[in-house]
Structure 1
Amino acid sequence: MTEAGADLLIVDDNRVNRLLLARSVELLGYRASMAENGRAAMDMLRERRFDLMLLDIEMPEMDGFEVLEAIKLAPALQDLPVIVTSSVEGVDNIVRCIDLGADDYLPKPVNPVLLKARLSSSLEKKRLRDEQATLLKRFATNEVVQDLQKTGFRLGGRRVHATILFCDIRGFTAISERQSPEDTIELLNIYYTLMFEAIDHHSGIVTLMIGDGLMVLFGAPKPLENPAASAVAAAQDMLAIVEQFNLEQAAAAKPEIRLGIGIATGEVVAGFAGTKQRATYTCIGDKVNLASRLEQHTKRVSRPILIDDATRAAVGPEHPCESLGAVDFDGFSRSVAVFAVGSQ
């Protein structure tokens, strides 16, 4: 959206007011659509995207206050700038509009100089918010972005029941040594694209990327009904996608890749760690360490997906598992029951 070509929705039950206001904003270089009451406006907002709304208060069927309340309850509309244009007088009414989320208030008859200034200011604020949201989504998942927008940024975490998945390309160092750095980067970018597709599909979020290694969290910040089942299903999809990718690699005489995946389930602390200047959404706990140990153990047992007992209990019979017995991992005082999951 460029400010000069912004799409504005004018909501007013008075036809003359609608037409005059539409002419004013079009002379300023904006595009204008019109609605005769609040109910019609809400229908239009659900059907298409607008950059700003000019809203009257006193209207039949659904007045301006009710429209502001409806917008406040609709996540998809909460970033829509609203300028109230009304003949309703009194500070209380103006305060009520602002409390309900309106960005500004212009009394009728609308002064054209003020209208130009308020439109320019509100659209500039929206542009900056949109740029910020785009930047956030480039460095964080949608779930983390939504959590930031809902609760704001703060260092610290909360205890959650979640599942952690670690994934790594087997023999990646050897692959890197056999090809140019440019080819290695391209392979990594393709790998990330494929893995993110499977992870996103099952509502996981990548919290760490180190070379060819990925750490994925299921169950936070967005709760999942069964994070363990989501993680195992994602892991199986990751293997299936890589299998298809390897067919293309073999046909092009390029290196094929193999994955090792470790999954553990239990209580972790999830939240933002770092400083106010630089932080990341992550989680900590012994289950994180266990998932990492399980991923490393796939090299020793030559099985692509290993899970702990808590994950096995949560996934149920729909994901058949084979017991590999108890394993002593570094940093754990007790042996851990390990299970291998077959691919779908």
Structure 2
Amino acid sequence: MRDRRAGTARVLLVEDNRVNRLLLARHVELLGHQVEMAEDGLAALARLESASYDLVLMDIDMPGLDGIQLLERLRAHADLRELPVIVTSAVEGMDSVVRCIELGAEDYLRKPVNVVLLKARISSTLERKRLRDQQRELVRRFATREVAQNLEAEGFALGGRRVQATVMFCDIRGFTSMVETQQPEDIIELLNTYYTLMFAAINGQGGVVNQIIGDGLMAVFGAPQPLAAPGRNALLAAQEMVQMAEQFSMEQCVLGRPEIRIGVGVASGDVVAGYTGTRSRATYTCIGDTVNVAARLEAHTKLTEHSVLFDAGTRAQLGDDWPVVRLGPVQFKGKRSEVDVFALSLPDGSTSFDASP
């Protein structure tokens, strides 16, 4: 990674001619950057896959894997496609240079390399990288990893697409009365710990937390990244959430603080997932009847002895080895048709269940 305080960058120099390689490396080092060298494209690819660099400065015309082929490999590599590349060439024709720019090269320097131009091109390229890294970090801070990856891969556009997914709602039981009896600082600390645990369980099963309101959260499984059985993933996450909430609650009680109990509702079916809002302020979410059912199921946990409830669409994704209990049809407010409600029956009293694929 680049040392921001010293203003230095780690540069990989790829050049098959030893004299050119040594002279160019010296020029780059005099600019204050760290340089490592590779004699051809294959050697460069091996280095790039084993270490982190801020910039690649490479020749186009090389034996074996040439500059164009190396760029093609980089752009097809999930972890290297954003790495900035400056190409150098003594080739008279511009076709190779144009092809490199089309493949994503940041800039071009003609051999013999002019030192003043070299400094300017490296500085501007590293500055663009810094701004891109800063923007990417902001996206990752305020969006989940999957949403950030979706933005990087497809870009931002308002609207959505219809997908098969699973929606989860979860909240803390009795949170309102808890707020009335606890100091605000203690509530913030509790919520931060609670969300750390819930996020770990949800993200661990491929889910995306797309909404947080107070003590409640909404998560989606199967969008933006598809899952073979999103309902199964959601229930595995829910079981882990209940288990971790119980362990957290025991620690709370030892400290003389309120116990923590959660309710989780899970529903599967068609949703429209995408970005809603405006060009200046948007969020990744999903809409559809599946969302409403999941919210109703979460609320219904308050009336049952079960912490996790789910619908028939989710039940259809589970194997026969899952200890499922059918609670029967329920007429939820605002729904025209009854919803078949299911829960997991764990007779040994545990909150986790290992259902191997």
TM-score band, normalised by the shorter chain? over 0.9
Residue in 1 aligned with 2:217? 214
Instruction: Considering fraction of residues, name the structure with more helix.
Output: 1
- Determine what percentage of the aligned residue pairs are the same residue: 57
C-alpha separation in 2, matches of 1:127 and 1:319: 49
Within 2, Cα distance between the matches of 1:234 and 1:317? 19
| C-alpha separation in 1, matches of 2:90 and 2:330 | 75
1:18 — aligned with what? 21
> Given the alignment of the two structures, is residue 182 of structure 1 paired with residue 199 of structure 2, yes or no?
no
- Whether 1:235 aligns to 2:247 is no
2:315 maps to 1:312? yes
2:95 counterpart residue number: 92
Q: CA deviation at 1:91?
A: 2.3
Mind listing any 5+ residue stretches in structure 1 that lack a counterpart?
none
Letter in 2 for 1:220: A
Which residue does 2:355 correspond to in 1? none
CA distance in 2, matches of 1:74, 1:10: 19
1:115 to 114, 118, 121: 118
What is the aligned partner in structure 2 of residue 169 from structure 1?
Answer: 172
Given candidates 6, 10, 17, the residue that maps to 2:9 is 6
Coordinate RMSD, CA, aligned: 0.9
The answer to whether the aligner puts 1:134 opposite 2:137 as a matched pair is yes
Q: Distance in 2 between matches of 1:291 and 1:37?
A: 56
What secondary structure is seen at the aligned counterpart in 2 of 1:119? helix
The worse-fitting range, judged by mean Cα deviation, of 244-253 and 186-195 is 244-253
Q: Does 2:53 align with 1:72?
A: no
Among 247, 252, 263, the residue aligned to 2:250: 247
Deviation at 1:86, TM superposition (A): 1.3
Q: Whole-Å Cα distance in 2 between the matches of residues 136 and 119 of structure 1?
A: 26
Match of 1:329 in 2: 332
TM-score by length of 2: 0.95
Show the counterpart of 2:348: none
Shift of 1:303: 1.4
Deviations 1:108-135 (A, max 9, x none): 1100000000000000000001011110
Q: What does 1:53-68 align with in structure 2 at a 5 Å threshold?
A: 53-68=56-71
CA distance in 2, matches of 1:108, 1:256: 70
Give the AA of the match of 1:65.
I
Distance, in Å, in 1 between the alignment partners of 2:93 and 2:78 is 30
Q: What's the CA shift string for 1:261-298, capped at 9, x where partnerless?
A: 00000000000000111000000000100000000000
Residue 31 (structure 1) shift: 0.2
Aligned equivalents of 2:344, 2:285: Cα separation in 1: 26
- Specify every segment of 5 or more residues in structure 2 that has no aligned partner in the other structure, as ranges: 346-350, 353-357
Aligned 8 A contact 2:68 2:96 in 1: no
CA distance in 1, matches of 2:94, 2:202: 51
Q: Paired residue for 2:46?
A: 43
CA–CA separation in structure 1 for the residues paired with 2:318 and 2:118: 59
Is 2:18 the counterpart of 1:28?
no
Name the residue aligned to 1:125.
128
Would you say the 8 A contact 2:265–2:310 is kept in 1? Answer: yes
How many residues are treated as equivalent by the alignment? 344
Distance in 1 (CA, whole Å) between partners of 2:34 and 2:326 is: 65
- The reply to whether residue 256 of structure 1 matches residue 227 of structure 2 is no
Query: How far, CA to CA, are the matches of 2:305 and 2:278 in structure 1?
Result: 40
User: CA–CA distance in 1 between the matches of 2:319 and 2:3?
Assistant: 52
The 3-state SS of whatever aligns with 2:140 is helix
The C-alpha deviation readout for 1:20-40, integer Å capped at 9, x for no partner, is: 111111110000000000000
Cα deviations by residue, 1:176-226 (Å, 9 ceiling, x for unpaired) = 111101111111111110100001100000111000000000000000010
State the alpha-carbon separation in 2 of the partners of residues 109 and 76 from structure 1: 32
C-alpha displacement of 1:167:
0.2
Question: 2:232 is matched by which residue type in structure 1?
Answer: A
Q: Which amino acid aligns with 1:73?
A: A
Go from structure 1 to structure 2 and tell me whether the alpha carbon gap of 1:145 and 1:23 turns closer, same or farther (over 3 Å shift).
Answer: same
**Deviation of residue 2 (structure 1)?**
3.7
Q: Distance in 2 between matches of 1:318 and 1:332?
A: 31
Classify the secondary structure of the residue corresponding to 2:259: coil
Alpha-carbon separation, structure 2, partners of 1:307 and 1:195: 18
Match of 1:286 in 2: 289
User: 2:277, 2:221 → 1: CA distance?
Assistant: 21
Aligned-partner Cα distance in 2 for 1:98–1:175? 59
| Deviation digits for residues 52-80 of structure 1 (CA, Å, limit 9, x no counterpart) | 00010111121111101101100101111
Q: Does residue 159 of the first structure (1) align with residue 149 of the second (2)?
A: no
Offset at 1:148?
0.8
Once the two structures are TM-superposed, the CA of residue 332 in structure 1 deviates from its matched residue by 1.0
Q: Is the 8 A contact 2:75 2:82 kept in 1?
A: no
Q: Distance in 1 between matches of 2:314 and 2:96?
A: 55
